[in-house]
Amino acid sequence: MTTPTTPRTVLVTGGNRGIGYAIAAEFVAQGHRVAVTARSGKGPEGTLTVIADVTDSASIDAAFSEVENELGPVEVVVANAGITKDTLLLRMSEDDFTSVVDTNLTGSFRVVKRASKGMLKARFGRIVLISSVVGLYGSPGQVNYSASKSALVGFARSITRELGARGITANIVAPGFIETDMTAELPEEQQAEYKKSIPAGRYGSAAEVAKAVAWLASDDAAYISGAVIPVDGGLGMGH
Ligand code: NAD
């Protein structure tokens, strides 16, 4: 049986849809105080939605201040906001590359740096970074995305070495193919082709990713840090 976990103040970036929305809903269901950042729209019922763009440090600072005032210091941060700009290397512009890195990697840096202030003071923190199976597996047409996602591993491991003695953990969740609006739009044959490469023979759900994230933030995962937890039906095994 799972032990009930201590209620925490949680902030999920990009929690207005997709995987971030499911993560926020899972934390609410487990009894935590949950805020999401959004550029538009809202988080699930029971969450506080604050406006922030992860490419803009000032907006992140303001969002954290709002959450701290409303819900208390952020104890769990989930850096989920991410984008893709897929194209083959020869066609990829410098802006295609740097804008994806700016959101997925530097955006996570901005968010985690701001979160670490309160965590250091509290001598407690849980940092979860949403990477992707593509980070370590590679993917044609995703040089920018894959580079941004694999870099999160070194990022989490360095935080672990820097802040591990202060009660702070930093882990990676690496989803595989997850059923979202994006995957639903793929042509049938392409979906079937992708499924063939996944040992589980199916896509995952955002809720399955959310369970892994919530567990890493729970009391039960206090001694886990610098880990890469795949939620990919076996697609990326061995990394
Ligand atoms: P999504 O496009 O539905 O959601 C992405 C969220 O990030 C949105 O809320 C969006 O507003 C937010 N976002 C993007 N740029 C932002 C910015 N500059 N500032 C603030 N917020 C911003 O995508 P998703 O499928 O739910 O993906 C969520 C995370 O999971 C991403 O990091 C993605 O790379 C990762 N991921 C997704 C899959 C998948 O199959 N869907 C697989 C592996 C990893």
108 CA → ligand 1 middle, Å: 12
Residues forming a β-bridge with 50: 37
Q: What is the separation of C-alpha 235 from the centre of its chain, rounded to a whole number of angstroms?
A: 19
pLDDT, position 60: 98
φ, ψ of residue 20 to 5 degrees: the values are -60, -40
Cβ-defined contacts of 38-46 (< 8 Å, 24+): 38/14, 40/16, 41/16, 41/17, 42/16, 43/12, 43/15, 43/16, 44/15
Question: Which of the listed residues 54, 59, 60, 80 should we mutate to test ligand 1's pocket, taking the one with most ligand atoms within 8 A of CB?
Answer: 80
Mean pLDDT over all residues of the chain? 96
> Rg of the Cα trace of the chain?
17
Domain ranges of the chain: 9-227
* Shortest-distance Cα residue to atom 34 of ligand 1: 82
pLDDT, position 181: 77
- C-beta 44 within 6 A of ligand 1: no
pLDDT, position 213: 98
pLDDT digits (tens, 9 = 90+) for 25-62: 999 999 999 999 999 999 999 999 999 999 999 999 99
CA dihedral 112, 113, 116, 117 (to 10 degrees): -150
CATH class of 9-227: alpha beta
* Shortest-distance Cα residue to atom 31 of ligand 1: 82
pLDDT, position 48: 98
Q: How far apart are CA 144 and CA 71, in angstroms?
A: 36
What atom in ligand 1 is closest to the CA of residue 53?
19
82 CA → ligand 1 middle, Å: 4
pLDDT digits (tens, 9 = 90+) for 53-107: 999 999 999 999 999 999 999 999 999 999 999 999 999 999 999 999 999 999 9
197: three-class secondary structure by DSSP: coil
pLDDT digits (tens, 9 = 90+) for 184-208: 877 888 888 889 999 999 999 999 9
Residue 166 structure tokens: 């202060």
pLDDT, position 3: 63
145 is catalytic: yes
Q: How far is CA 73 from CA 27, 32, 77, 209, 219, in A?
A: 16, 13, 11, 25, 18
pLDDT, position 239: 77
What atom in ligand 1 is closest to the CA of residue 15?
9
